Structure 1
């Protein structure tokens, strides 16, 4: 059950990152999607989605590795 919950916790940022990449790609090809009034807003939203999801994923991995003692000395609290 714990592994399934961890999978779900990581699935949401993964979907968010994929959506962020799609928003930025569509902006690059000048394809404006429905909820966005301007291309620059679509790109900023995509970059924000990608950044937040990568930040969450990296923090999750760092927390897990700290618990297992698999980090370098500079990352130990």
Structure 2
């Protein structure tokens, strides 16, 4: 069961990393034949980045709500 959870986090992480790579390459004029314009490649990279981060964040929030984890009521004493 934990393997499936890890895969749910790794695959969006890879997609986010690919989005960063697309945005970086469009800024340094290293275009791919799949995307013909700098703006299109940057936009698609941005969508991949935001989508991957949003999925990971939503997964963490869902897990915390499911386990009823509350950060407001924790007392941190040294």
Both proteins in one fold, TM over 0.5: yes
Higher-Rg structure is: 2
Q: Tell me, what secondary structure is at the counterpart of 1:58?
A: helix
- Runs of 4 or more, structure 1, over 2 Å off, are none
The question of 1:27 aligning with 2:26 is answered yes
Compute the TM-score of the two structures, normalised by the length of structure 2: 0.86
In structure 1, distance between residues paired with 2:70 and 2:28: 41
Count of equivalent residues: 72
Counterparts of residues 1-77 of structure 1 (less than 5 Å): 2-72=1-71
Compute the TM-score of the two structures, normalised by the length of structure 1: 0.87
Shift of 1:67: 1.2
Q: Say what the alpha-carbon RMSD is for the aligned residues.
A: 1.2
Instruction: Name the one with the larger helix percent.
Output: 1
